[in-house]
Chain A
Amino acid sequence: DQQVKQNSPSLSVQEGRISILNCDYTNSMFDYFLWYKKYPAEGPTFLISISSIKDKNEDGRFTVFLNKSAKHLSLHIVPSQPGDSAVYFCAASSRGAQKLVFGQGTRLTINP
C-alpha cells in the first residue's frame, strides 16, 4: 500500500527553467509534508516542508505547494541549476506518528 506516490521516476529540465516535481498521497491523516534531496553516495537531506494548515511555503528558489482536496503536493525549483540534479523524495507524516512515509523518488537532471 503506497501511501505516498511519486509517479515520475525521472525528469529532465533545462538550466534556468522551472522544475516541477509532483507527489500524491492517499492517507488523509497526513498533516506534515517534506521534501528531501539525495545525491549519489550520500544520505537524503532535508530541503523544505509544509504543514497542512498552509498551502504554500517558500525558501529561496524552492517552493512547495499543497492541495489538500486533491491530496497533492508539488515542489517548484526556479531557476533550476546544475547542482539541483539529484533524486528528490517526497515524505509525509501525521501528528502523533513517529515515522515519515516516503515516496519512491524522482531523479531530476538539469541540462546545461
Chain B
Amino acid sequence: DSGVTQTPKHLITATGQRVTLRCSPRSGDLSVYWYQQSLDQGLQFLIQYYNGEERAKGNILERFSAQQFPDLHSELNLSSLELGDSALYFCASSVEPNTGELFFGEGSRLTVL
C-alpha cells in the first residue's frame, strides 16, 4: 500500500461526457502528479501540483484540467470525452517537488464507450 488513494477505481462513461478523478496523496506529501497510461503505452505525464499551485505541465489536453485543494487532495477533470481518452490514470505523490521517487496510487481505469 503506497498510501496514495485514488477513486473511482473503474469508470465507464459515454463520449461527450465529463468525469472527475480524485486523488488523496500520502500523508505529508505536498506534491501530486497525474499520469496517463494508454494501452501498451508508457506513463505520460499530465500535470503536477505542489501545495495547491500548478508546478509543471505535460501533454495535457485543453479538455482536461486539474486542481489541488487546501487539504492537498487533487482532482483531474476530463471533459468532452472521446474514445481515445480511455486509459489508466495514475496519481502519484512525493514529499516535495523532486525528480526521484514517486508513490503511485492504484489508478483509475476510464472506459469511454
Contacts and interface: CB of A to CB of B under 8 A. Distances in A.
Contacts of A32: 99-100
Contacts of A45: 2, 104
Contacts, number: 62
B48 A43 contact: no
Contact of B99 (A44, A95, A103): A95
A18 interface: no
Q: Say which size band chain A's interface belongs to.
A: 20 to 34
B97 A49 contact: no
Interface in B46-93: 48, 55-56, 58, 90, 92
B43 A99 contact: no
Interface of B: 2, 4, 33, 35, 40-45, 48, 55-56, 58, 90, 92, 97, 99-107
Interface of A: 4, 6, 9, 32, 34, 36, 41-46, 49, 89, 93-95, 97-105
